[in-house]
Chain A
Amino acid sequence: MNFVCAFLPEAHPLIDELGLKKENSSTFTLYQKREHRLVVSGLGPEKIAHAVSFLHQLDSQPAVPWLNIGIAGHGSAEIGSAHLVVKCTDRKTQKSIYPPQLFSSLLPKTILETVEKPATDYKNGVAYDMEGYAFLKSASCHSSAELVQSVKVVSDNPDNPVSQFDKSTVHEMISSHLPSLVDLIDEMKALSHQILPSPEIELCFNKIFPCQSFTETQSHQLRKAIRQAIALGVPVNELESTSQDSKDSRSALQQINQLLDRKRLYP
């Protein structure tokens, strides 16, 4: 799972919670442990888009969840409250992104407007940041839209304008929401597991493929046959032995499909 924060104090509570370790990286400040990766992007839409691209290059698997955590101004919410973003509009282009909401998270929802400069013209019910839209747009290119989410913790509002904001409070603000954030992270990971391709297909393919000289087209047909074998409950070792016993790649595919044909009737 990938995390992107604009600056380090936003990231620290999560780094501690997940036990992430700093890695040597010349491009971005990177923290990592097992399947969790976090980058500190710096401020602004270009930097966050580059950070997303950087993280994607480290792990380009499909169905990876992406979470942006950061502070934001808000037109009506209390200082320190955390919100899940349900709509994000780029003020410059007036384009909007709607991250699908499939979670049981109790975090209140907010509309987010991404602006070029810190906002002082707060609207009721709207949060303001400088990176949200760029994050959602760029991360959605690399994963399913449901798995790209953003949480904003309110740092300023009309009663406490951004000019009075004390950066030293960020750690405490975000830390207080760690239980909710961890629940959301767990749900996002569980969701991604629902659509991860079965590793069994590639394992089986890697065993069978070297047995014969399969052409490019045949390799697609083989993958399909393996997928169907798994769906139909045909033991994959039977496919392997069938392939080994065949005289050539064409015959191997024919034999494998005959094996599957015996099981194709719906139970």
Chain B
Amino acid sequence: MIDIIYLEEAVSQHAHAREVINRFPKATVIPCENYKEIFNPGGQNFRLQKNKPSLILAQKNGRFALPIPESYGIGGKHNFYFSHMLNCIYDCRYCFLQGMYPSAHYVLFINFEDFLADINAKSIQCVPEPSWFFSGYDCDSLALDQISNFVPSFLPYFKDNPLAHLELRTKSVNVQSILKHEPLANIITAFSFTPDELGKQIEKGVPTVSSRIKAMQKLTQAGWSVGLRFDPIIDCEDFDKRYSKLFQDIFSQIPTDKIHSVSLGAFRMPASFFKKMEKLHPEEKLFAGQLVNHQGTIGYKVEIEEQRKETCKDLLLRHIGKEKLFTCETTPESS
């Protein structure tokens, strides 16, 4: 429930902003000049704001689609990410957003037309080669779709431009707006998972594994392809057993020909983010794990990370071909 909406003057008359505001007739709308006045000031507490985030409606300026880190792709050559929103409705203890942003308020960039224009320009530069656009790095792509109208606004572009590919990364089961469309080969809904035993402890508000598998089933039965994202992999008790069960549960219910790609990545983040997260949640066991600082990036000790990733790869290759498996490497922050 949103009680407070901050509204940037630049988008106050934008039809999209008015639509969003109309969904919350009881909310107090507060005008502001620039969303950064609310979002950026220091001295805010992300943990406290997670109790009741407000919504900020803003205009995105500058760069819209940006190149992704080199090892984060899923087979494409030209890869970009974009963020129509900042922050997420879920509260995952490992999430880097709490270390990166000073505020937990949701920022929704209203000017989708500018995002699409930039995506189009980047896509044209890549023709005749395909391009990939990743959504869901700085927010969950689908969780607030009823408010943001993201999917209905972006799908038509990708329908008309089959060389441009879109990944919608999510932990949500909110797939209704996708199911209203005919399946498109260039759109992948990529679901992130950790084993249920971990999710219950460190993924507050996230739908259960079984409900996400059901959402994937709905999509694949309608002809859509899906992606699987095991990132971050969390070192834990009964690691092999828990991850093996998770993979078994997924692959026993989702046909492998409908799985576009699977990616893996160990828990990792810039040391500056980690330091802030530790301060926000000093009581968190996860942050007291066997972690080390590799040149400015906090991650598991190399031998643990390698062993856990190898275990996951072995388990996954029992279900899929290696051409579908991608690994996100831990790279030093400075590189």
Which positions in A face B, CB cutoff 8 Å? 86-87, 96, 98, 100-103, 109, 111, 140-141, 144-147, 191, 194-195, 197-198, 201, 227-228, 230-233, 260-261, 264-267
Chain A neighbourhood of B290, CB < 8 A:
261, 264-265
B residues 27-53 touching A (CB-CB < 8 Å): 28, 30-33, 37-38, 41, 43-45, 47-49, 51-52
**Measured CA separation A81–B161 after assembly (Å):** 57
Task: Report the nearest B residue to A201, measured CB to CB.
Answer: B282
Chain A neighbourhood of B41, CB < 8 A:
145
The smallest C-beta distance from A132 to any residue of chain B, in angstroms, reads 15
Contact, CB under 8 Å: B44 / A267: no
Top 4 A-B pairs ranked by shortest CB distance? A228-B288, A266-B236, A144-B45, A102-B52
Contact, CB under 8 Å: B237 / A100: no
Task: Report the nearest A residue to B267, measured CB to CB.
Answer: A266
Given contacts A101-B4, A265-B235, 13 further A-B contacts (CB under 8 A): A87-B32, A98-B6, A101-B3, A102-B49, A102-B51, A140-B43, A145-B44, A191-B51, A194-B48, A194-B51, A198-B283, A265-B289, A266-B237
The smallest C-beta distance from A67 to any residue of chain B, in angstroms, reads 16
Contact, CB under 8 Å: A98 / B48: no
Contact, CB under 8 Å: A100 / B288: no
Chain A neighbourhood of B237, CB < 8 A:
265-267
Chain A neighbourhood of B144, CB < 8 A:
none
Contact, CB under 8 Å: B285 / A100: no
- A interface footprint on B196-212 (CB within 8 Å = 1, 0 otherwise): 00100100000000000
**Measured CA separation A263–B280 after assembly (Å):** 22
B residues 270-300 touching A (CB-CB < 8 Å): 280, 282-290
Task: Report the nearest B residue to A190, measured CB to CB.
Answer: B51
Task: Report the nearest B residue to A233, measured CB to CB.
Answer: B285
A98 touching B38 in the complex, CB below 8 Å, given contacts A232-B285, A232-B288, A266-B285: yes
**Measured CA separation A230–B283 after assembly (Å):** 7
**Measured CA separation A198–B284 after assembly (Å):** 13
Contact, CB under 8 Å: A231 / B47: no
The smallest C-beta distance from A252 to any residue of chain B, in angstroms, reads 18
The smallest C-beta distance from A143 to any residue of chain B, in angstroms, reads 8
- The answer, yes or no, to whether B250 is at the interface (CB within 8 Å) is no
A195 touching B48 in the complex, CB below 8 Å, given contacts A265-B236, A267-B237: yes
| 28 A–B contacts from the bound complex (CB under 8 Å) | A86-B4, A86-B30, A96-B32, A98-B6, A100-B105, A101-B54, A103-B52, A109-B28, A144-B45, A145-B44, A146-B49, A194-B51, A195-B48, A198-B282, A231-B282, A232-B285, A260-B288, A265-B235, A265-B237, A265-B290, A266-B234, A266-B236, A266-B237, A266-B285, A266-B286, A267-B201, A267-B237, A267-B285
Contact, CB under 8 Å: B30 / A102: no
Chain A neighbourhood of B38, CB < 8 A:
98
Q: Chain B CB within 10 Å — which of A96, A100, A191 has the most?
A: A100
A-B contact count (CB 8 A): 96
Contact, CB under 8 Å: B49 / A100: yes
Chain B neighbourhood of A144, CB < 8 A:
43-45, 48
Contact, CB under 8 Å: B285 / A146: no
Residues of B within 8 Å of A, CB-based: how many?
Answer: 38
Task: Report the nearest A residue to B202, measured CB to CB.
Answer: A266
A266 touching B6 in the complex, CB below 8 Å, given contacts A101-B52, A231-B282: no
Chain A neighbourhood of B105, CB < 8 A:
100
Among A101, A145, A232, contact of B43 (Cβ-Cβ < 8 Å): A145
Q: Chain A CB within 10 Å — which of B41, B45, B51, B290 has the most?
A: B45
Contact, CB under 8 Å: A264 / B288: yes
Chain A neighbourhood of B288, CB < 8 A:
227-228, 231-232, 260, 264
Contact, CB under 8 Å: B45 / A146: yes
The smallest C-beta distance from B298 to any residue of chain A, in angstroms, reads 14
The smallest C-beta distance from B266 to any residue of chain A, in angstroms, reads 13
Task: Report the nearest B residue to A260, measured CB to CB.
Answer: B288
Contact, CB under 8 Å: A231 / B44: no
**Measured CA separation A228–B41 after assembly (Å):** 30
**Measured CA separation A120–B44 after assembly (Å):** 34
**Measured CA separation A195–B201 after assembly (Å):** 19
Task: Report the nearest A residue to B28, measured CB to CB.
Answer: A109
The smallest C-beta distance from A207 to any residue of chain B, in angstroms, reads 19
**Measured CA separation A257–B22 after assembly (Å):** 55
Chain A neighbourhood of B3, CB < 8 A:
101
B residues 18-32 touching A (CB-CB < 8 Å): 28, 30-32
Chain B neighbourhood of A267, CB < 8 A:
201, 236-237, 285
Chain B neighbourhood of A98, CB < 8 A:
6, 30, 32, 37-38
**Measured CA separation A233–B288 after assembly (Å):** 11
**Measured CA separation A96–B31 after assembly (Å):** 11
Chain B neighbourhood of A191, CB < 8 A:
48, 51
Q: Chain B CB within 10 Å — which of A102, A141, A198, A227 has the most?
A: A102
Chain A neighbourhood of B282, CB < 8 A:
197-198, 201, 227, 231
Contact, CB under 8 Å: A195 / B45: yes
**Measured CA separation A102–B52 after assembly (Å):** 5
**Measured CA separation A96–B35 after assembly (Å):** 12
